[in-house]
Amino acid sequence: MTTTHQPPSEHASERVPKAADVNRIDHVVAVLSGKGGVGKSIVSSLLAVSLRRKGYRVGILDADITGPSIPKMFLPSGIQLGNDPLGIPPAVSRTGIKLMSINLLLRSESDAVVWRGPLIGRAIQQFWTDVVWGELDYLIVDLPPGTSDASLTVMQFLPLSGVLLVTSPQGLAGMVVHKAAQMAEMLHVPLLGLIENMSYFVCPDSGKSYEIFGPSHAAELAQALGIPFLARLPIQPELTVLSDTGRIEDYLAKEFAPIVEQIEKAAQAPRLPPFSIDLGGL
Ligand SMILES: Nc1ncnc2c1ncn2[C@@H]1O[C@H](COP(=O)(O)OP(=O)(O)O)[C@@H](O)[C@H]1O
Ligand SMILES: [Mg+2]
């Protein structure tokens, strides 16, 4: 009897290196609201810009798969990602912020993503495991509205240092933010604080301040949730223009100093490893 014997290949046992082998991400912070249009993406972006200005290495993971808005705020349209043998290379903004969003992977930025929850969850997991983030001090995760699959995946799968809650003065926003806060608590993710966006508008002619969307209830909401009330952000037409034209890094957000301070404080706190629990149908 003859047998053909193949000598073991020299490379057979060699593992192909992956993004996870080079990624070192120190702290992950998610921006959550529950409600759409309150400014989660603006807050995520300005937080990343503020951290970057302090010299930190920063990335943004756009977890809003069906309504991604991060590339539009940072990049000229039509940007092409490069190639990386380790995984998916992120786009890099003008000041060096690493960005990943489903919009960077679509043929056209206006293509719709019509996916069911599990697929959305898998895309977010892939953004965490397969993107070549490299070494980052902070990864900011911009969540979609609601307490559904995407937020659940982020809170269960990513080792979060905590979440920042965003609200606006409209009564409905406060109610929905309460639900989002409850979700974070159920999943044992620390709530780092509350930010109220679109709180007021300062008339450039008179210098007078107007509460366009009504009086603020954010202080009471923060107190009810037992979390710090970190900032009130004004309505700034300049911000709308800069964020719509890929130039958000030109905006100086002085109101972000206490938010950055809170993030730095949370970064010093010991973290628990991520875990899964049975959510009883959540
Ligand atoms: N403080 C603000 N001043 C001016 N425009 C704002 C402000 N906050 C948000 N916007 C604008 O409102 C829209 C919705 O904000 P966005 O951050 O995308 O909300 P979300 O991510 O919660 O859906 C964007 O077009 C953004 O430019
Ligand atoms: Mg958004």
- Please report, for the domain that includes residue 97, its CATH number: 3.40.50.300
Partners of residue 166 on adjacent β-strands: 195
39 CB within 6 A, ligand 1? yes
Number of domains in the chain: 1
| Tens-digit pLDDT profile for residues 219-243 | 999 999 999 999 999 999 999 999 9
Collapse the DSSP code of 279 into the 3-class scheme (helix H, G, I; strand E, B; otherwise coil) and give the result: coil
Task: Tell me if 240 is assigned to some domain.
Answer: yes
Q: Give the number of C-alpha atoms closer than 13 A to the C-alpha of residue 275, restricted to the C-beta side.
A: 10
| Tens-digit pLDDT profile for residues 95-105 | 999 999 999 99
Hey, CA dihedral for 187, 192, 194, 197, is it positive or negative?
A: negative
- Which tokens hold the place of 147? 């307490």
Task: Tell me if 14 is assigned to some domain.
Answer: no
- Which tokens hold the place of 73? 């705020």
8 A C-beta contact, residue 136 and residue 22: no
Per-residue pLDDT averaged across 76-89, rounded?
A: 89
Mutate to test the pocket of ligand 1, among 140, 141, 240, 241 (most ligand atoms within 8 A of CB): 240
Mutate to test the pocket of ligand 1, among 211, 213, 243, 247 (most ligand atoms within 8 A of CB): 243
Residue 109 in this model has a pLDDT that exceeds 90: no
Residue 6 in this model has a pLDDT that exceeds 80: no
In this structure, how many other beta carbons lie within 10 angstroms of the beta carbon of residue 245?
13
Give the nearest ligand 1 atom to 42 CA. 17
pLDDT at 141: 97
CA 13 to mean position of chain CA atoms: 37
Task: Tell me if 258 is assigned to some domain.
Answer: yes
Which residue minimizes the CA distance to atom 13 of ligand 1? 37
Give the nearest ligand 1 atom to 35 CA. 22
Tell me the ligand closest to 45's alpha carbon.
1
8 A C-beta contact, residue 99 and residue 63: no
197 CB within 6 A, ligand 1? yes
Task: Check: pTM over 0.85? Answer yes or no.
Answer: yes
Which residue minimizes the CA distance to atom 5 of ligand 1? 240
Partners of residue 31 on adjacent β-strands: 142, 164
Task: Tell me if 137 is assigned to some domain.
Answer: yes
d(Cα 280, Cα 20) in Å, to the nearest integer? 31
Collapse the DSSP code of 227 into the 3-class scheme (helix H, G, I; strand E, B; otherwise coil) and give the result: coil
42 CB within 6 A, ligand 1? yes
pLDDT at 165: 95
User: What one-character DSSP code corresponds to residue 255?
Assistant: G
Task: Tell me if 5 is assigned to some domain.
Answer: no
| Tens-digit pLDDT profile for residues 238-279 | 999 999 999 999 999 999 999 999 999 988 876 555 444 444
> Where does the pLDDT of residue 281 fall: very low under 50, low under 70, confident under 90, or very high at 90 and above?
very low
Per residue, the 3-state secondary structure of 29-88, as one string, reads: EEEECCCCCCCHHHHHHHHHHHHHHCCCCEEEEECCCCCCCHHHHHCCCCCCCCCCCCCE
> Where does the pLDDT of residue 4 fall: very low under 50, low under 70, confident under 90, or very high at 90 and above?
very low
d(Cα 155, Cα 144) in Å, to the nearest integer? 13
| Tens-digit pLDDT profile for residues 115-163 | 777 888 999 999 999 999 999 999 999 999 877 789 999 999 999 999 9
Closest to 234 measured CA to CA, from 194, 193, 203: 203
User: What one-character DSSP code corresponds to residue 213?
Assistant: T
pLDDT at 2: 42
The domain in which residue 52 lies consists of 22-268
Collapse the DSSP code of 138 into the 3-class scheme (helix H, G, I; strand E, B; otherwise coil) and give the result: strand
| Tens-digit pLDDT profile for residues 29-80 | 999 987 788 999 999 999 999 999 999 999 999 999 988 999 999 998 878 8
Task: Categorise residue 146: left if φ over 0, alpha if ψ from -120 to 50, beta otherwise.
Answer: left
| Tens-digit pLDDT profile for residues 158-214 | 999 999 999 999 877 777 888 889 999 999 999 999 999 999 999 999 999 999 998
Tell me the ligand closest to 240's alpha carbon.
1
Task: Tell me if 9 is assigned to some domain.
Answer: no
Residue 108 in this model has a pLDDT that exceeds 50: yes
Task: Tell me if 104 is assigned to some domain.
Answer: yes
Which residue minimizes the CA distance to atom 2 of ligand 1? 235
